[in-house]
């Protein structure tokens, strides 16, 4: 469901009221922008919030991109829209933060190299040196920023400096470190984390141990945007797999890796294709 | 995702070209029809087919239903649309055809009684007397039309006569009898069958025996519109469940019942909510 | 995977040590009991707990059932076994407790009537009159024990009196009432509850509202044995289904019904076939 | 569910009759072999075939491995057993055959490096040069054996020569070439193929195109042992994923890659752990 090169995606949220679809589609039609795909959602048609994602061709557009955005701004104002437009040919820039686990990193790198992810990866950052070789095999830059309790703030400052201006969003591919509220505030709804449980079950540390102790019959993983509250941000994607009494904690960890990487990859794909809108700590994933 | 009472659903398919969404949404807006939900699909933006389903409120509509349909007809003509409009308060009328298996029938009746299905059920028809009691418990009419090889044509004629003018569509809830091409032609894309395999695997008779013999690790069920070719009509819904060497054919039959009734119920729900469009022997399910 | 009529199931748990399988299978062989199916599990081969379930034919057994049990008691003592034997031809007796929701009740009754459940159902009990008709349609006894805050203890006493000697285990098919610790103590690991969430997420009241508020992408259901701690007993079975922003709370409730009844039915089947062993607030489900 | 290092796995199939479990477990107990896990299956207790897999510790074994095998041979003869024993510390040797697709190869290599697969990989063979770099990054040997219509037989002879004595089994990780009956006969039940459909649906070439044309709502993958009949060998593992009208053939290919690699990895794991027994062109997977 990825969109072709010469297309743009328009994302809108605004108070619901009659005429929004008509106004937007009329505007696009008048300017030669042929709609390829359109999805909308209303939380409540009476006084709720309206969300829309439209993919359109740029071929016939009679305006330059800045002109288009300026002209659409006028329409948007009428409806008090929060909106953004993204162009398929302007790749998003993604930083990947990892610790020592390689499965999520490898999954992202493979999806990138195989062409599934249209993304630039300016750098991979880790508090450990372990995954340098793997990263460099894919021809990417690996930045090792060691961590110690006494220099946590410094390390984060260094990290921020390295990312500034180079990336649009950040993926925590089992990074295993908490980010400070100040850091999170710099990338609102732009940090994707993979948590190795079916949230809100098993928040916090050692979810597989928790799952084993509780004797659940399914284990899961959750990809979500990071907020200031641990494991509480808007959920983008979740999935589960079946387990039984036969599985040791080590087996759960191993089975969990399959789910973690798949769930994370789907969430990153949705983010890259501008299919995610956030509201009230939840997501609309078109 | 069922739609509220005072709403209508507009279904459109036409050659793809710019301006369709704008024209339709503009028309609805002008006549006070507030759009609640909208989905579209293009097989190919250049010369392909365009499909759209729009749900809108009737509250503010400034035309009567016949006037609305007439006025929209003019828009539709411009775009060479095949279209229909359905009103949530006009219940579809469904006949259920069964043989001796009760699980699919019970599922449909329960969904109807619990309010999940907004539908009228004028009659349940069977070539066996077995399910009369169950049907009548739900306060519905049971028609027993016995079958024998020599009077197959007569029985079908009788069936057609009984259905004529009383039902809009037909569900074969494990009916186990082939319908003649003439019968099928009377209800194009209006006969839903449940086949007890993951089509196109195991077409025809005894799919569970076939599945057992082949040693598959998943068994499935398929709901599809009936066409003249056996088990070959447009697929509406499918699902599977895991099996292993531990399962006998009897176990497969039993496990299969769960999938059959769920898959059939989902297909009927999609049909009732006018979420299915057919093209090239396939379906778009919005 | 249900076992034929003339068979017995032997369930064992004991401290793990060499020679258990040899001793039990030797004993069965010597007495003409041909093993049909055997499953075992060790939490830890060094000092852990050993669990085993053996299904064997009674045809060739050279002892009466009481003699067999007495003779096996000697073997069991050697290994400090906790054990029980169940005979496929001695149907378990199940009480079903319901409130007003019919979906779980209907599922259980249908599985019973269709022959999937080998069980007797001496009575269905409810604190509401609503499901009497449905129950009696299946030819079963419905007992209405109204509840009010001031006579909760009395009602439970009445319930206990009605169940005493008539049932072996109890299924809470969306009963919606807490049972007192005294009640639970009378039926240890013999009360099965269906909770409408993927535990341990969303313990307690209104799990679908909780799930909606959290914005999860999957909802689930959990069947577990009832203990004194709310929604915390040993989990027998769980499953989930996918949801999205398109689903209202009403949709979640509706989708949830499908999962609830399936999960409950699977848990009851496992209990009926003596496939469940409990340890450390968890289950082994063979 | 992988077994610890100092263990062995005993696999048995034989005509079913009383006393098998007793004889085998007695034999193991007498020789100090503590059973860790045991599974059995009977196709039919009266005159059917009996299958068993037992995992036992070697720590307390009072015989050398050759002595053990010789002694067990006597027991086996009594029951006309086909049997084998495998030792967890004797790694199987796996050749991987690939064409140009990297996803299945990468999956296998990652599972090997991460320790999930206890296996030796003496060589990766391909009819294309494309995956040399990837293979060598993992420190493995890549053998490029180009293919052309006129020298197909020669290439296969070369391949056979390269494999002879170096590998125990072969994985076709999307190899895309048919092997001759003579080749297959050299590795009976030792060649695992991944077919990119839910067999028996869409046998042969271009299954995703076939699936797209038929309009199925699920696509799948199947891992099976290779026999002389195309895509007809005993199925080891299958799985599916949901698709819709929104997915192009390219999307199906992409989604299919996820299922293919997972299904293949599970099948290889089962083979490595000696959990698969073949009978009547089907498998028992313990």
| CA atoms of D55 and D64, how far apart (whole Å) | 17
Residue of A nearest to B27 (CA): A22
Answer whether A102 sits within 8 Å of D114, measured CB to CB.
yes
CA dihedral (D258, D263, D264, D269) in degrees, to 10, reads 130
* Number of domains, chain D: 2
Are residues A158 and A70 part of one domain?
no
Burial-class residue C14 by CB neighbours within 10 Å (0-12, 13-18, 19+). Answer: middle
Structure tokens at D267: 């099948």
| Residue of D19, D34, D35 lying closest to C29 (CB–CB) | D19
> Would A1 be classed as within a structural domain?
no
Q: Considering the candidates B231, B232, B239, B251, report the single residue annotated as catalytic.
A: B231
Q: Which residues of D touch A100 (CB under 8 A)?
A: none
User: What confidence tens digit (pLDDT) does each residue in C177-212 have?
Assistant: 999 999 999 999 999 999 999 999 999 899 999 999
Range of the domain at B178: 92-285
Give the model's pLDDT for residue A158. Answer: 96
Mutate which: B4, B18, B43, vs A, most A CBs within 10 A: B18
Number of Cβ within 10 Å of residue D7's Cβ equals 21
Are residues D272 and D135 part of one domain?
yes
Q: Phi first, then psi: what are they for A108, rounded to 5°? A: -65, -45
> Would C107 be classed as within a structural domain?
yes
User: What is the DSSP-derived secondary structure letter of residue D149?
Assistant: G
> Would B1 be classed as within a structural domain?
no
Answer whether A110 sits within 8 Å of D103, measured CB to CB.
yes
CATH of the domain at C150: 3.40.50.170
- Sheet arrangement for strand A218-225: A142-144, A119-126, A92-98, A169-172, A191-195, A218-225, A235-242
| Residue of C114, C137, C251 lying closest to B1 (CB–CB) | C251
Q: Which residues of B touch A42 (CB under 8 A)?
A: 36-37
Minimal Cα–Cα distance from B61 to chain A, Å?
A: 12
Mutate which: C6, C25, C50, vs D, most D CBs within 10 A: C25
| CA atoms of B197 and B256, how far apart (whole Å) | 8
| CA atoms of B153 and B218, how far apart (whole Å) | 38
User: What is the DSSP-derived secondary structure letter of residue B45?
Assistant: T
The pTM score is: 0.95
Asked if the C-beta of A5 comes within 8 angstroms of chain B's C-beta atoms, the answer is no
The subunits that touch chain D, with at least 3 C-beta pairs less than 8 Å apart, are A, B, C
Give D150-204 as a 3 state SS string: HHHHHHHHHHHHHHCCCCCEEEECCCCCCCCHHHHHHCCCCEEEEECCCCCCCCC
Q: Which residues of A195-217 are buried (b: 16+ CB within 10 A; e: fewer)?
A: bbbbbbbbeeeebbebbbebbbb
CATH of the domain at D41: 3.30.70.260
Examine the residue annotation and report whether A62 is marked as an active-site residue of this protein.
no
From D33, D67, D87, give the residue that closes a domain: D87
Asked if the C-beta of B91 comes within 8 angstroms of chain D's C-beta atoms, the answer is no
Asked if the C-beta of B218 comes within 8 angstroms of chain A's C-beta atoms, the answer is no
Entry field: residues in chain A: 286
Answer whether A26 sits within 8 Å of B28, measured CB to CB.
no
Are residues B119 and B213 part of one domain?
yes
Radius of gyration of chain C (CA): 21
User: What is the DSSP-derived secondary structure letter of residue B55?
Assistant: E
User: What confidence tens digit (pLDDT) does each residue in A99-148 have?
Assistant: 999 999 999 999 999 999 999 999 999 999 999 999 998 999 999 999 98
| Residue of C215, C240, C282 lying closest to A218 (CB–CB) | C240
Number of Cβ within 10 Å of residue B143's Cβ equals 17
Question: CB within 8 A of B265, min separation 6: which ones?
Answer: B107, B108, B111
List average pLDDT for each run of 10 residues in chain B, which is 286 residues long.
84 94 96 92 84 94 97 97 97 98 97 95 97 94 94 94 97 94 96 97 94 97 96 97 95 96 98 96 96
Answer whether C110 sits within 8 Å of B116, measured CB to CB.
no
Are residues D66 and D102 part of one domain?
no
Minimal Cα–Cα distance from C17 to chain D, Å?
A: 8
Give chain A as a 3 state SS string: CCCCCCEEEEEEEEECCCCHHHHHHHHHHHCCCCEEEEEEEECCCCCCEEEEEEEEECCCCCCCHHHHHHHHHHHHHHCCCEEEEEECCCCEEEEEEECCCCHHHHHHHHHHHCCCCCEEEEEEEECCCCCHHHHHHCCCCEEECCCCHHHHHHHHHHHHHHHCCCCCEEEECCCCCCCCHHHHHHCCCCEEEEECCCCCCCCCCCHHHHHHHHCCCEEEEEEEECCCCCCCCCEEEEEEEECCCCCCHHHHHHHHHHHHHHHHHHHHHHHHCCCEEEECCEEEEC
Give the model's pLDDT for residue C1. Answer: 60
| CA atoms of C21 and D23, how far apart (whole Å) | 10
| CA atoms of C146 and B186, how far apart (whole Å) | 53
> Would A165 be classed as within a structural domain?
yes
User: What confidence tens digit (pLDDT) does each residue in D24-80 have?
Assistant: 999 999 999 999 889 999 887 677 999 999 999 999 999 999 999 999 999 999 999
The subunits that touch chain A, with at least 3 C-beta pairs less than 8 Å apart, are B, C, D
Mutate which: A15, A20, A21, vs B, most B CBs within 10 A: A21
Minimal Cα–Cα distance from B264 to chain D, Å?
A: 14
Entry field: residues in chain D: 286
| Residue of C22, C32, C42 lying closest to D25 (CB–CB) | C22
Burial-class residue C252 by CB neighbours within 10 Å (0-12, 13-18, 19+). Answer: buried
Give the model's pLDDT for residue B87. Answer: 97
> Would A154 be classed as within a structural domain?
yes
Question: CB within 8 A of D113, min separation 6: which ones?
Answer: D138
pLDDT bucket at C215, cuts 50 / 70 / 90: very high
Number of Cβ within 10 Å of residue A268's Cβ equals 29
Q: What angle do CA D208, A108, A274 make, to 5 degrees?
A: 80
User: What is the DSSP-derived secondary structure letter of residue B234?
Assistant: P
Number of Cβ within 10 Å of residue A270's Cβ equals 19
Are residues B168 and B216 part of one domain?
yes
Are residues C211 and C103 part of one domain?
yes
Are residues D152 and D29 part of one domain?
no
pLDDT bucket at D144, cuts 50 / 70 / 90: very high
Quickly list H helices, chain B: 20-30, 65-78, 103-113, 132-137, 152-163, 181-186, 207-214, 249-272
From A46, A63, A87, give the residue that closes a domain: A87
Question: CB within 8 A of C178, min separation 6: which ones?
Answer: C230
Answer whether A114 sits within 8 Å of D137, measured CB to CB.
no
Average pLDDT, chain C: 95
CB under 8 A, 24+ apart: contacts of A241-246: A242/A217, A242/A218, A243/A211, A243/A216, A243/A217, A243/A218, A243/A219, A244/A217, A244/C285, A245/A215, A245/C41, A245/C282, A245/C283, A245/C284, A245/C285, A246/C41, A246/D1
Structure tokens at A252: 């759960």
> Would B2 be classed as within a structural domain?
no
Give the model's pLDDT for residue B2. Answer: 64
Residue of C nearest to B137 (CA): C137
Burial-class residue C44 by CB neighbours within 10 Å (0-12, 13-18, 19+). Answer: exposed
Give the model's pLDDT for residue A2. Answer: 64
DSSP D89-143: TS-EEEEEEESS--HHHHHHHHHHHTTSS-EEEEEEEESSSTTHHHHHHTT--EE
Residue of D nearest to C30 (CA): D19
Residue of A nearest to C276 (CA): A245
> Would C56 be classed as within a structural domain?
yes
| Residue of D21, D34, D57 lying closest to C38 (CB–CB) | D21
Minimal Cα–Cα distance from C194 to chain A, Å?
A: 14
Are residues A226 and A249 part of one domain?
yes
Please list the residues that pair with A184 across neighbouring strands: none
Torsional sign, CA D16, D19, D23, D26: positive
Are residues A266 and A125 part of one domain?
yes
Give the model's pLDDT for residue A273. Answer: 97
Are residues A177 and A120 part of one domain?
yes
Give the model's pLDDT for residue C2. Answer: 64
User: What confidence tens digit (pLDDT) does each residue in D210-258 have?
Assistant: 999 999 999 999 999 999 999 999 999 999 999 999 999 999 999 999 9
Determine the longest span between alpha carbons in chain A, in angstroms.
Answer: 63
| CA atoms of B9 and D218, how far apart (whole Å) | 27
Q: Considering the candidates D16, D231, D232, D274, report the single residue annotated as catalytic.
A: D231
User: What confidence tens digit (pLDDT) does each residue in C46-73 have?
Assistant: 779 999 999 999 999 999 999 999 999 9
| Residue of D218, D240, D283 lying closest to B215 (CB–CB) | D283
Are residues C57 and C171 part of one domain?
no
| CA atoms of D24 and A142, how far apart (whole Å) | 56
Give the model's pLDDT for residue B192. Answer: 98
Radius of gyration of chain B (CA): 21
Given a contact cutoff of 8 angstroms between Cβ atoms, the answer to whether A170 and A146 are in contact is no
Given a contact cutoff of 8 angstroms between Cβ atoms, the answer to whether A227 and A184 are in contact is yes
Are residues C133 and C261 part of one domain?
yes
Please report where in the chains the tokens 């293979």 appear, as a residue. Answer: D135
From C87, C120, C141, give the residue that closes a domain: C87
**How many C-alpha atoms does A102 have within 13 Å on its Cβ side?**
18
CA distances from D280 to A224, B279, D170 (A): 48, 41, 21
Please list the residues that pair with A144 across neighbouring strands: A126
Q: Considering the candidates A102, A168, A231, A274, report the single residue annotated as catalytic.
A: A231
> Would A51 be classed as within a structural domain?
yes
Structure tokens at D48: 């059917």
Asked if the C-beta of B106 comes within 8 angstroms of chain C's C-beta atoms, the answer is yes
| CA atoms of C185 and B210, how far apart (whole Å) | 49
pLDDT bucket at D2, cuts 50 / 70 / 90: low
Q: Which residues of B touch C106 (CB under 8 A)?
A: 106, 110
Q: Which residues of A touch B45 (CB under 8 A)?
A: 34, 36, 57
- B139 cis-preceded (ω within 30 degrees of 0): no
pLDDT bucket at A1, cuts 50 / 70 / 90: low
Structure tokens at A165: 């201006």
| Residue of C218, C236, C284 lying closest to A238 (CB–CB) | C218
What was the ipTM of the complex prediction? Answer: 0.94
């Amino acid at each position: 469901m990825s969109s072709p090169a010469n297309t743009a995606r328009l994302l809108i949220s605004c108070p619901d009221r009659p005429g929004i679809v008509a106004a937007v589609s009329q505007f696009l039609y008048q300017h030669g922008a042929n709609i390829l795909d359109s999805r909308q959602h209303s939380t409540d048609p009476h006084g709720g919030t309206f969300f829309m994602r439209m993919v359109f061709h740029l071929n016939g557009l009679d305006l330059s991109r800045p002109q288009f955005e300026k002209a659409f701004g006028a329409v948007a104002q009428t409806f008090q829209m929060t909106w953004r437009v993204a162009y398929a040919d302007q790749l998003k820039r993604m930083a990947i933060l990892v610790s020592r686990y390689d499965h999520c990193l490898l999954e992202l790198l493979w999806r990138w190299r195989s062409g599934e992810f249209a993304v630039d990866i300016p750098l991979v950052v880790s508090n450990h040196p372990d995954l340098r070789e793997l990263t460099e095999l894919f021809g990417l830059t690996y930045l090792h920023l060691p961590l110690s309790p006494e220099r946590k703030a410094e390390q984060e400052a260094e990290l921020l400096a390295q990312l500034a201006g180079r990336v649009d969003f950040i993926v925590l591919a089992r990074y295993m470190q908490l980010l400070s509220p100040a850091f999170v505030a710099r990338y609102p709804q732009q940090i994707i984390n993979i948590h190795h449980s079916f949230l809100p079950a098993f928040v916090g540390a050692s979810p597989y141990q928790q799952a084993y102790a509780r004797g659940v019959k399914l284990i899961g993983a959750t990809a979500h945007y990071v907020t200031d509250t641990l494991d509480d941000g808007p959920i983008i994607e979740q999935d589960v797999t079946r387990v039984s009494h036969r599985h040791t904690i080590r087996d759960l960890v191993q089975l969990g890796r399959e789910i973690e990487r798949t769930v994370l990859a789907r969430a990153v794909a949705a983010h890259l294709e501008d299919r995610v809108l956030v509201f009230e700590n939840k997501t609309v994933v078109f």
